[in-house]
Amino acid sequence: MNIGEILTPFNLKSTNGEFVSSYDYSDKYAFLVCVTCNHCKYAQAYWSRLIKLAEKFEEDNLGVVAICGNDSVQYPLDGFDNMKSLAEQFNLPFEYLYDVNQEVMKSLGATKTPEVFLFNQRRELVYKGAIDDSWDNDQTIMKVYLEDAIDYTLDGVEIDYPEVHPVGCSIKWKN
């Protein structure tokens, strides 16, 4: 997916058992989709940071969802039951969705976990890629790419760096 393209609508099962649609967030000023998983050390390092971001921007009307769709045959930790356990463990303040057919991840053009996709109010892609510049140590972060992108988007300002190469594990595509 390229910057400026419109989000393809989706409807996925959440770890709470309900189906969640991208239309459920139509009233949000910005919408963040994070492609992630349970097993990857990079994704694991970012769960607490994603929670903090969601909580920080909740009052600013940011919608947030996390999506996992890795092949759970190859990587059982990324199966739906384990997703539910992770959501409970972290008490996620946002939906954790299961892309069982991997269609949403493909439509986004996702390649890594974690990889974020930020959409403005018109659901145009305005930022994609990395969350920050220090996956392994949140004490050494120098650039908060995603946080800046969210701030700019909510303020209606063009993002300086709309694309930053994500660091993470490759998505585990089904055969």
The pTM for the full model equals 0.97
Per-residue model confidence as pLDDT tens digits over 113-143: 999 999 999 999 999 999 999 999 989 999 9
| Domains recognised in the chain with CATH numbers | 31-170 (3.40.30.10)
Q: What is the DSSP string of 68-119?
A: E---TTT-GGGSHHHHHHHHHHHT-SSEEEE-TT-HHHHHHT--EESEEEEE
Query: Above 90 in pLDDT, residue 106?
Result: yes
Per-residue model confidence as pLDDT tens digits over 38-64: 999 999 999 999 999 999 999 999 999
Query: Above 90 in pLDDT, residue 29?
Result: yes
Contacts with 59 (C-beta within 8 Å, 6 or more apart), sequence order: none
Query: Above 90 in pLDDT, residue 175?
Result: no
Write the DSSP symbol of residue 58.
Answer: G
